[in-house]
Structure 1
Amino acid sequence: MHGSVLIIDDNPGVGEALALLLSLHDIQSHHATSPEAGLALLAQVPVDLVIQDMNFSADTTSGEEGVALFRAIRTAAPDLPVILLTAWTRLEAAVELVKAGAADYLAKPWDDTRLLATVENLLELADATRHNQVQRRQQQERRQRQQALAARWQLGGLVFASAAMEQAVALACQVARSDVPVLVTGPNGSGKERIAAIIHANSAVQRGPFVAVNCGALPGELIEAELFGADSGAYTGAHRARSGRFEAAHGGTLFLDEIGTLPLAGQVKLLRVLETGRYERLGSSRTQHSSARIVSATNADLRAMVQAGSFREDLYYRLNVIEVAVPALGERRDDIVPLAEHFLAGRAQLGDAGRDALYAHPWPGNVRELKNVIERAALLAPGQLLTPAALALPAQPLAARTLDEPSRDAVVGALAQAQGVVSHAAAALGLSRQALYRRMDRYGLLPGPGTP
């Protein structure tokens, strides 16, 4: 346990006893023997918690000095937790200060176990609060960067909130103006074509066509004809000449999806186009020129395919001048709920339980799977609050679940079982205490000011 506590008590023995108790649990402390010295120390030394006496005069039991000190601390540090120590002070004064925001009050002589538990919980809460504040600041900075991206570049309405996707989008925009080939990598359904479209929309050929071809969806014998075109009679069934995708993409962008499925013969011809800009239709000797910008994509490990001899090394390096890696949805979980709400488009609503279910699901099918789940739920439960049952997510093994993201009910149940002891509840959930505090904050389960 780490933290820093300011003790304000005019009795040196009290200060020494508290300092010793805290030091045994790795908690640093500072001691001031008067309200004035305490406020001066508060202005000089960063602390996480104040333990203050309520009386600083032997001839009064009103607690006026303690009340004035508490209010001064509140003014100087509104969010700093304060524990009140009471001896002969009127109990009503301490209760009023708890209502005004004091964290707790303890009678002198205090119970070491209770005092220590109170201090540790408050320090953990302060640590979790700081962590949340850092996270919120980072999220705000990320939102500002993403807004700046959207203001400067054409993003085609792409929805994202995660830092991982922001990095991929920023790189795509950065390389869009150049004319070098770009390889977009990532699992199926992660949004590779959307990234390719962003590259085109911000490129020098943005006014030209954007032609997408899924190499994996074409029969092997037709891939060359699809890419380069074919003259009449070039193959069985070719009754007339046809143009290919390179010709259609002239002056624009040609997006070659699933490039790893391209057979070796097609790889040779593609390499020639990348090197010279020239190609021939299938069955023709007339050379044609292509000015298409090449963006390719794959969910395969092309390096491994090069090692296995199924993908040309020279073509790999031609295509992979710049690589934009699109992370799986499970690796950018901050995008899950914004994407789901975008797909819902107001047709239904997500409650907390529905959000938790979406967030906990591993999404092996990525954004495509999420869209299908949301479309189905919106169709079957229009205008309703979508529950986990309405989302009908596939069951997943316990080991595959996101253990550090328990549902609200799980958190409430663990806290009840642990009788409110956060460290015990966290252990039961497999979380650190800080992680549980963050989850409690998200669910609105943290005690408000003045809660004993």
Structure 2
Amino acid sequence: MDKILIVDDTPAVLQALSLLLEIHGYEVITTTSPQQAMQYVNQLRVSLVIQDMNFTGDTTSGEEGKSLFYQMRELNPHLPVILITAWTDLEQAIELVKAGAVDYIAKPWDDQKLVNTIANLVALGKATTASAKLERQQDVIAKAQNQAEATGLVFASANMQRVVDMAVQVAKSDISVLITGANGSGKEKIAELIQQSSTLNTQPFIKVNCGALPADLIEAELFGAEAGAYTGANKARVGLFEAADGGTLFLDEIGNLPYSGQTKLLRVLQTGEFQRLGSVKTLTTKVRVISATNSDLLQAIASGEFREDLYYRLNVIELALPALAERLDDVMPLVQHFLGDRQISIAAEKALLAHPWYGNVRELENACKRVSVLKPEGVIEPSDFALLEGRSDLLVTPQATPTAGNNRVDMNGKTLGELSTGSTKSVAEPNKADLETAMREHHGVIAKVARQFGLSRQALYRRLDKHGIEY
């Protein structure tokens, strides 16, 4: 039912207009307070406003009504506002009509004319009302939720639709796919979609985060190891390529795979053959490989950190996942997915759409979890999401980037100084705030954050895990 808000300081006017509009099937909300009116517009998403021009006794200047109108326009530029005026307010009413008010009526008003005006605005859509906008948004959200049930994804943007369409298309073949995008943007979900949409959907689907494993264990994890192949290997270990035989292996953070592991991975992709650590026996496997990275592999190739031939073997098809800030149409569907049918104010929605979302969907999900815990009931306002943008008290001066050269590295991967200078330059250990700030500034790109602090990727991952920072 369409909500009509009436703002007038005369109870008799409120009563007469309420009765008239309720008879014609509208839900009516009334107030004598401009401040209360703004709260209603923000929280109740009214379809149309009828407002007086004066709200204080013996006041005839119309400035109060003018101020209220412009406040509502700033909050919701598409909200239809009808002005109800005395003859002394006519000049200002005309000014506000030029500024966007849809109509004005004089006191006493013509009932039929007023009802017809409202019917035209609400039912026939001669103006873009807030309720019509909400209905369209709900349609998009419903469509996105239907797709989420089938794919595990929640989206409504054209950018994501293109990625999903291509993912479903490439899923029909067995070619290797490289998914690129910032941390928290949904790369793993796209990998799951490819697996679900492929002919291998009943076969093993094994995931491994190459960046979360110590460098000396990644090869054993991928290819297996014989007993005694390394310290602590008391029995033979089956690698993920063996376990995924006939199915799909998802290699997340592929840019962190050590060079020796890259060489073995290339051989598997080329021939289907590999050897366990500590063994000379050649094993065979048939596995589809989907990989993902948030780093710039071309830059890693240029710096000698990543094999170019492996890159092109992995990147037969690249699915570039846009950051959440590049697909704002997904924000509110995701919020509704995380928060259910919770009511969100217009001001909160505007704040969510204006936020840069450096942490992408993961940051948005965390913000929604916070709301669920700290404000389980009531209308959700911008402050409830505790968005950090602009909080200067949480920002720290980043550490200086070490100068490139022959750096000496400690057992944790920490850069101590340049051997070429003969000096030892101590680099301060980053604290949690330093790391969080750097992750925001570099949009979660691990390689750039590690470079800022003079750390290896593995050393940075250990510090992120230590401080409980998601990546």
TM-score (norm 1): 0.56
Contact 1:146–1:166 under 8 Å retained in 2: no
Q: Name the aligned partner's letter for residue 367 of structure 1.
A: V
Give the aligned partner of residue 319 of structure 1.
Answer: 314
1:369 matched residue in structure 2: 363
Pick the aligned partner of 1:269 from 261, 264, 269: 264
165-174 vs 302-311, which deviates more? 302-311
**Once the 2 structures are TM-superposed, how far is the Cα of residue 342 of structure 1 from its aligned partner?**
0.7
SS at match of 1:254: strand
Aligned with 1:254 (options 233, 249, 253)? 249
Cα distance change on mapping 1:385 and 1:240 into 2, 3 Å: same
CA distance in 2, matches of 1:313, 1:282: 24
* Residue 285 of structure 1, CA deviation: 1.2
> 1:361, 1:196 → 2: CA distance?
27
Counterpart of 2:350 in structure 1 is: 356
Match of 2:151 among 155, 162, 165: 155
Contact 2:275 2:281 in 1 (8 A): yes
What is the SS of the residue equivalent to 2:151?
Answer: coil
Aligned-residue offset at 1:149: 6.5
Percent identity among equivalent residues? 54
Residue 421 of structure 1: aligned partner = none
Matched, 1:177 2:172: yes
Moved more, 327-336 or 349-358: 349-358
Q: Is the 8 A contact 1:216 1:259 kept in 2?
A: yes
Q: Which amino acid aligns with 1:227?
A: L
Determine the C-alpha separation between the residues in 1 that align with 2:221 and 2:308: 23
Counterparts of 1:138 and 1:371, CA distance in 2: 20
Letter in 2 for 1:269: K
Question: Does residue 239 in structure 1 map to residue 234 in structure 2?
Answer: yes
- Residue 161 of structure 2: aligned partner: 166
Q: Name the SS for the 1:306 alignment partner.
A: helix
Supply the distance in 2 between the matched residues of 1:275 and 1:139 (Cα, whole angstroms).
48
Counterpart in the other structure of 2:274 = 279
Deviation at 1:137, TM superposition (A): 9.2
- Displacement of 1:291 in angstroms is 1.4
- The alpha-carbon deviation at position 353 of structure 1 amounts to 2.1
How many Å separate the matches in 2 of 1:148 and 1:339?
13
Aligned twin of 1:209: 204
Tell me whether 1:223 sits opposite 2:218 in the alignment.
yes
1:338 to 333, 341, 344: 333
1:386 aligns with 2:405: no
SS at match of 2:228: coil
1:182–1:296 CA contact under 8 A, matched in 2: yes
CA pair 177-148 structure 1, distance change in 2 beyond 3 A: farther
Q: Which of 187, 194, 197 is matched with 2:189 structurally? A: 194
Aligned partners of 2:146 and 2:112: how far apart in 1?
A: 48
**Structure 1 residue 173: Cα displacement:** 0.5
**How many angstroms does 1:100 deviate by?**
4.8
Deviation of the 1:150 alpha carbon: 7.0
TM-superposed deviation, 1:390: 1.5
Contact kept, 8 Å, 2:355 with 2:389, in 1: the verdict is no
Aligned partners of 2:148 and 2:154 also within 8 Å: no
Report the Cα offset of residue 211 of structure 1: 0.6
* Letter aligned with residue 243 of structure 1: V
Change (3 A) 1:234 1:351: same
C-alpha contact 1:344 1:374 (8 A) present in aligned 2: yes
Partner of 1:73: none
SS in 2 for 1:178: coil
Q: Secondary structure at the match of 1:189?
A: coil
Query: How much does 1:371 deviate?
Result: 0.7
Counterpart for residue 308 of structure 1: 303
1:139 offset after TM fit, Å? Answer: 11
Aligned mates of 2:296, 2:259 — CA distance in 1: 16
Which ranges of structure 1 fall in alignment gaps of 5 or more residues?
Answer: 1-80, 83-91, 103-124, 399-452
2:423 aligns with: none
Residues 99 and 340 (structure 1), Cα distance of their counterparts in 2 relative to 1, 3 Å cut? closer
Task: State the 1:93 CA deviation.
Answer: 13
Distance 2:278 2:334 in 1: 47
* TM superposition shift of 1:247: 1.3
Amino acid at match of 1:155: T
Using a 3 Å threshold, how does the CA distance of structure 1 residues 252 and 230 change in structure 2: closer, same or farther? same
The one-character-per-residue Cα deviations of 1:279-298 (angstroms, maximum 9, x if unpaired) are 11111111111111100000
Q: Extract unaligned runs of 5+ from structure 2.
A: 1-101, 119-124, 393-471
Structure index of larger Rg: 1
For 2:248 and 2:165, the matched residues in 1 are separated by 19
Q: Deviations over 1:361-386 (max 9, x none)?
A: 11100001111111111011112222
In the alignment, does 2:323 pair up with 1:328? yes
Which secondary structure does the structure 1 equivalent of 2:357 belong to? Answer: coil
Cα drift, residue 395 of structure 1: 3.4
Name the SS of the counterpart of 2:292 in structure 1.
strand
Q: 2:278 corresponds to which letter in structure 1? A: G
- The answer (yes or no) to whether the contact 1:149–1:170 under 8 Å persists in 2 is no
**CA separation in 1, counterparts of 2:320 and 2:115?**
53
* TM-score, normalising length: structure 2: 0.54
Letter in 2 for 1:228: F
Cα pair 1:341 1:350 within 8 Å, conserved: no
Q: Report if aligned partners of 1:196, 1:255 keep a CA contact under 8 Å in 2.
A: yes
Cα deviation code 1:309-338 (max 9, x no counterpart): 211111000000001111111111111111
Number of aligned residue pairs: 283
Does the residue aligned with 1:349 lie in a helix, a strand or coil?
Answer: coil
Runs of 4+, deviation exceeding 4 Å? 92-102, 136-140, 142-151
Q: Which amino acid aligns with 1:200?
A: Q
Aligned twin of 1:439: none
Q: CA deviation at 1:98?
A: 8.3
Q: Is the 8 A contact 2:248 2:287 kept in 1?
A: yes
State the distance in 2 between where 1:186 and 1:258 align: 11
Preserved contact between residue 251 and residue 292 of structure 1 (Cα < 8 Å): yes
Q: 2 CA distance for matches of 1:313 and 1:233?
A: 33
- Whether the 8 Å contact between 2:143 and 2:156 is mirrored in structure 1 is no
Contact 1:230 1:283 (8 Å CA) reproduced: yes
Q: After TM superposition, give the deviation of residue 96 of structure 1 in Å.
A: 8.1
